[in-house]
């Protein structure tokens, strides 16, 4: 398949629009799962920690399975994966309406919907990067707001649907809405040249030449034997006609011997194929060893190691508010009459604003993106410490807006990763960090829920969350201080393609 140069427009803007709506439709319900969380608590009567696993799995399983999602998109293409994942998300939501217990929701909502969202995220990002080069940052920024807008709208939508049709009816309707992902996926036309000539070589020709050694030898032997046989028979028939019958008998013997040679050649070919498979397995093993060596090189970078700890602790402590804030308001005995807007909707809309504002700030040359990211972590930790002191809707709404804005630091996280490890190792490093981000998303809400089950109040839980985020922020700040470069001369010892953040940020 021959790909054209990214057009940076044209059908690419259709890709941006359908990718936006794809993320809107698939992430709307999982990100606004806090509204469903309250209903599941009342319906199944389980503990808050056990119930919180449903939403945490739905948001974390996609990141945990990001390597598998990347392989699927690379193997089958963005459009087939998007259509298949649309069935997964819609089917998982509809199946959840018939859940008899919380364990059924772990599979239907947590794993099926979560994995479908992970596949759709990878598909939308991949197809957008194929269509855009110079405007790639703008295109990715536009499609990433789809999930935040989905959080804003689905929080109010699911709450209204629950009041009108109950929890089961809400999940059925939301699942039916997710079927629109199929229409969006069908428009994700792969970027390939339709006017390019068909390839001259077939897929078999891609196999190394040594695979056909015995095939060529066999062909040469057969040609030589046929030529000798033809000359020998013609000469005999010209000189002595009766000898032709004898020669035909001899010819049969020769052909039988050729069949024996063919069997020997087949055995040799099998041996050659076996050796080829062994060499291929050896090469794969070498690739795995190289991957782990490069991973160890990444962790020798102090800033990357601190970044890995920071993103894990940030997702453990910073993700629970988007899931549990509605229950926090109910635990504070805030009347529903005081609600002007769901707290999760406030988080969603402010996350969109945060992504745009922080992304714009990161483009300024005088802004150190690592220190900007550290600042968002420290401010998030302080806001989490303030939640136990909020006893009214107004204060909780203000804190929700602040936390939503600071959560928009996801938009600058790729910048920070690039400046830390270099563009050559961005894919490798980002995959590792996203895996641990998914682990933090999966563990954070259950841990906070277990703290509530243990203490019967959220104060200790959010103190713990704030401590985790602050610890990650201060560790990252300590690792990024310029004094490390002055004391250890780290920049001269770094391997190729990796460099200290100070040097990279000033470049």
User: Is residue 269 situated within a structural domain?
Assistant: no
Q: In this structure, are 157 and 305 located in the same domain? A: no
Q: In this structure, are 4 and 138 located in the same domain? A: yes
Give the dihedral of Cα atoms 280, 285, 290, 293; nearest 10 deg.
180
CB-based contact 311:471 (threshold 8 Å): no
Tell how many helices (H) and how many strands (E) occur in the chain: 22, 0
From CA 311, how far away is CA 313, in angstroms rounded? 6
Q: In this predicted model, what pLDDT tens digit does every residue of 216-242 receive, in sequence order?
A: 444 444 444 454 444 444 444 444 444
From CA 464, how far away is CA 449, in angstroms rounded? 12
From CA 124, how far away is CA 459, in angstroms rounded? 39
From CA 26, how far away is CA 219, in angstroms rounded? 57
What is the DSSP secondary structure assignment for residue 111, as one 8-state letter? I
Nearest Cα residue to 404 out of 379, 439, 435: 379
Over range 33-38, report the average pLDDT. 87
Q: In this predicted model, what pLDDT tens digit does every residue of 401-430 receive, in sequence order?
A: 999 899 888 877 877 877 887 767 766 777
Find the CATH number of the domain harbouring 55.
1.20.1250.20
User: Is residue 359 situated within a structural domain?
Assistant: yes
Q: In this predicted model, what pLDDT tens digit does every residue of 425-474 receive, in sequence order?
A: 766 777 778 788 888 888 888 888 888 888 888 888 889 999 999 999 99
- Percent with pLDDT over 90 in the chain: 23
Q: In this structure, are 14 and 142 located in the same domain? A: yes
Nearest Cα residue to 498 out of 405, 396, 426: 426
From CA 308, how far away is CA 447, in angstroms rounded? 20
Q: In this predicted model, what pLDDT tens digit does every residue of 236-267 receive, in sequence order?
A: 444 444 454 455 554 555 545 555 555 566 66
Please tell me the predicted confidence (pLDDT) of residue 50.
86
Show which of 127, 159, 193 is a domain's final residue: 193
Give the dihedral of Cα atoms 125, 128, 134, 138; nearest 10 deg.
-70
Show which of 143, 174, 193 is a domain's final residue: 193
Lowest-confidence segment of 52-56, 160-164, 374-378, 484-488 by average pLDDT: 484-488
**Number of domains observed in the structure of the chain:** 2
User: Is residue 273 situated within a structural domain?
Assistant: no
Q: In this structure, are 188 and 334 located in the same domain? A: no
From CA 494, how far away is CA 300, in angstroms rounded? 9
Q: How many CB atoms lie within 10 A of CB 163?
A: 9
Q: In this structure, are 465 and 318 located in the same domain? A: yes
Tell me the CA distances in angstroms from 64 to 93, 312, 421, one per residue in order.
20, 12, 21
Q: Is the pTM of this model over 0.85?
A: no
Asked whether residue 25 carries a pLDDT value surpassing 90, the answer given is yes
From CA 87, how far away is CA 81, in angstroms rounded? 10
From CA 120, how far away is CA 124, in angstroms rounded? 6
- Percent with pLDDT over 70 in the chain: 73
Q: In this structure, are 332 and 480 located in the same domain? A: yes
Q: In this structure, are 317 and 455 located in the same domain? A: yes
Q: In this structure, are 185 and 307 located in the same domain? A: no
Please, where are the H alpha helices in 132-242? 136-178, 180-186, 213-239
Show which of 193, 224, 256 is a domain's final residue: 193
Whole domain around residue 392: which residue ranges? 301-484
Q: How confident is the model at residue 196 (pLDDT cuts 50, 70, 90)?
A: very low
User: Is residue 345 situated within a structural domain?
Assistant: yes
What average pLDDT does the chain have? Answer: 77
From CA 65, how far away is CA 121, in angstroms rounded? 12
Over range 19-34, report the average pLDDT. 90
Tokens linked to 20: 């936006």
Q: In this structure, are 313 and 183 located in the same domain? A: no
What is the DSSP secondary structure assignment for residue 10, as one 8-state letter? T
User: Is residue 433 situated within a structural domain?
Assistant: yes
Q: In this structure, are 180 and 320 located in the same domain? A: no
Please tell me the predicted confidence (pLDDT) of residue 113.
94
């Amino acid at each position: 398949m021959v790909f054209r140069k990214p057009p940076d427009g044209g059908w690419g803007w259709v890709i941006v629009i359908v990718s936006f709506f794809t993320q809107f439709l698939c992430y709307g319900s999982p990100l606004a799962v806090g509204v469903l969380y309250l209903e599941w608590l009342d319906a199944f009567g389980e503990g808050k920690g056990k119930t919180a696993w449903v939403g945490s799995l739905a948001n974390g399983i996609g990141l945990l399975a990001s390597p598998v999602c990347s392989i699927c998109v690379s193997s089958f293409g963005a459009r087939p994966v998007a259509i298949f994942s649309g069935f997964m998300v819609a089917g998982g939501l509809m199946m959840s309406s018939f859940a008899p217990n919380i364990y059924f929701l772990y599979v239907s909502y947590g794993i099926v919907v979560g994995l479908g969202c992970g596949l759709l995220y990878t598909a939308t990002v991949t197809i957008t990067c194929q269509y855009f080069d110079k405007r790639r940052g703008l295109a990715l920024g536009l499609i990433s707001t789809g999930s935040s807008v989905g959080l804003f709208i689905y929080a109010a939508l699911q709450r209204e649907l629950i009041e009108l049709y109950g929890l089961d009816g809400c999940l059925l309707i939301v699942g039916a809405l997710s079927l629109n992902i199929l229409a969006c996926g069908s428009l994700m036309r792969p970027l390939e040249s339709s006017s390019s000539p068909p390839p001259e070589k077939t897929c078999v020709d891609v196999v190394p030449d040594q695979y056909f050694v015995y095939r060529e030898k066999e062909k040469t032997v057969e040609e030589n034997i046929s030529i000798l046989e033809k000359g020998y028979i013609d000469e005999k028939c010209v000189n002595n006609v009766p000898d032709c019958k004898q020669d035909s008998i001899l010819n049969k013997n020769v052909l039988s011997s050729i069949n024996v040679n063919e069997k020997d050649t087949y055995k040799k070919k099998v041996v050659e194929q076996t050796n080829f498979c062994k060499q291929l397995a050896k090469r794969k093993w070498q690739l795995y060893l190289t991957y782990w060596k490069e991973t160890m090189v990444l962790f020798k970078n102090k800033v990357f190691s601190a970044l890995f700890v920071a993103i894990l602790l940030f997702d453990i402590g910073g993700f629970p508010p988007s899931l549990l804030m509605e229950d926090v308001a109910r635990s504070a005995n805030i009347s529903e009459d005081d609600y002007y807007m769901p707290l999760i909707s406030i988080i969603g809309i402010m996350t969109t604003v945060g992504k745009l504002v922080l992304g714009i700030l990161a483009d300024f040359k005088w802004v150190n993106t690592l220190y900007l990211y550290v600042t968002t972590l420290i401010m998030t930790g302080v806001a989490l410490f303030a939640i136990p002191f909020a006893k009214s809707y107004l204060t909780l709404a203000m804190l929700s807006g602040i936390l939503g804005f600071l959560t928009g630091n996801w938009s600058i996280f790729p910048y920070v990763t690039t400046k830390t490890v270099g563009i050559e190792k961005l894919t490798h490093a980002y995959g590792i960090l996203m895996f641990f981000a998914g682990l933090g998303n999966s563990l954070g809400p259950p841990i906070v829920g277990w703290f509530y089950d243990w203490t019967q109040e959220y104060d200790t839980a959010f103190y713990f969350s704030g401590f985790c985020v602050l610890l990650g922020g201060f560790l990252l700040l300590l690792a990024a201080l310029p004094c490390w470069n002055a004391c250890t001369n780290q920049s001269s010892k770094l391997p190729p393609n990796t460099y200290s953040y100070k040097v990279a940020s000033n470049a």
